[in-house]
Structure 1
């Protein structure tokens, strides 16, 4: 099963590194085009190739690894999803300019971390995310940990726990296979409405929580 990654920032690049270390193939893309990824794919080796966003989106399993505010720009105009699996690796947060008023707003409890929660009017993030990928089978995963540890699934003599959730059992099973092939200990949190909320940054009770399976 082929894998596509849309987004080459910290999340997308580190998942690509994790895949490459296990000899797993993927196509990674960003809106700047394949040439902008030359240094990254040279670092990662032959199993990771750069492509267009449309090429990455054509894979059987597609990780969306872009900032929340960039979802519309990243996903608009792509071919029909037709039941393909999309991993929602996003979180509804805005990254703040350190000099902006929001970064100094005492009413923002997350200002010290350089982020601001985006108000979804009571909806959970994957509920909104699904609207950007109509016809896809959405699985929430790879969103609850610091992106800098994603390329290191083995830690402290064990496996780093990776949560996932979704409403399609078959899609979740395929994503679990990928997570386990990378080296994570995959834990199913149930449906998107339940598990997605638990692992969703910034306020999910399991968000940014690191567990190691020994």
Structure 2
């Protein structure tokens, strides 16, 4: 399984730290050329490699960490998203009317035709996401939701590999609504820094 993070701001870098901590290879890309990202990527760890967007999108699993709205440009970079898993780590700080009455992930999913879309890694602030998720014998929780039940399992496996405790919330418009930010409306689980003890 290959991974890429698209967007290399605070959240993208925080996720890159999580991959580097576990020595898992990950490609990073953004609107900026790879050489602009390379020094920061190298500073995070040797398994974090900056590449052009087109190359990064060859990964099986792509984490979207771009400002909401820019996802459309990312989506246009591939003719088909068939066979790809897209993890939506974005929060939509836009007026609700811009989302056609949908949750932000359902709205974003329309751009990624054929992809399996999973909402995840969006409810924690960057500094928390970048920190070691294992504390006092517990694992920091990440919430996952998707309208494609099968898509959640590999993302849950990735979360575990990164040291997090995945908690499945079901479909986007059910449990997933708890971790969605839309306009000025924040889901009840946003910013909830929870831990799960090992059984």
- TM, length-normalised to structure 1: 0.84
Match of 2:144 among 155, 159, 164: 164
Deviates more, 1:179-188 or 1:155-164: 155-164
**Rg comparison, structure with higher value:** 1
| Structure 2 runs not aligned, ≥5 long | none
Please tell me whether the aligned partners of residues 90 and 143 of structure 1 are also in contact (alpha carbons under 8 angstroms).
Answer: yes
Find the counterpart in structure 2 of residue 20 from structure 1. 20
Find the counterpart in structure 2 of residue 101 from structure 1. none
Give the 3 Å change call, closer, same or farther, for CA 82–121 of structure 1 in structure 2: closer
1:136 aligns with 2:115: yes
Please tell me whether the aligned partners of residues 4 and 63 of structure 1 are also in contact (alpha carbons under 8 angstroms).
Answer: yes
Q: Distance in 2 between matches of 1:13 and 1:65?
A: 9
Shift of 1:147: 1.6
Q: Distance in 2 between matches of 1:65 and 1:77?
A: 16
Find the counterpart in structure 2 of residue 102 from structure 1. none
Shift of 1:155: 3.1
1:154 aligns with 2:137: no
Find the counterpart in structure 2 of residue 86 from structure 1. 86
1:213 aligns with 2:192: no
Q: Distance in 1 between matches of 2:96 and 2:8?
A: 22
Matches within 5 A, 1:186-205: 186-201=166-181, 202-205=185-188
Q: Give the number of equivalent residue pairs.
A: 192
| Per-residue deviation, residues 125-174 of structure 1 (Å, max 9, x unmatched) | 11101112111000000111112111221235421110001122322110
Matches within 5 A, 1:1-214: 1-94=1-94, 117-119=95-97, 120-152=99-131, 153-201=133-181, 202-214=185-197
Q: Distance in 2 between matches of 1:185 and 1:148?
A: 18
Structure 1 segments of 4+ aligned residues over 6 angstroms from their partners: none
Please tell me whether the aligned partners of residues 159 and 166 of structure 2 are also in contact (alpha carbons under 8 angstroms).
Answer: yes
Give the 3 Å change call, closer, same or farther, for CA 54–195 of structure 1 in structure 2: farther
Q: Distance in 2 between matches of 1:77 and 1:186?
A: 30
Please tell me whether the aligned partners of residues 161 and 186 of structure 1 are also in contact (alpha carbons under 8 angstroms).
Answer: yes
Please tell me whether the aligned partners of residues 100 and 107 of structure 2 are also in contact (alpha carbons under 8 angstroms).
Answer: no
Please tell me whether the aligned partners of residues 5 and 57 of structure 1 are also in contact (alpha carbons under 8 angstroms).
Answer: no
Deviates more, 1:46-55 or 1:154-163: 154-163
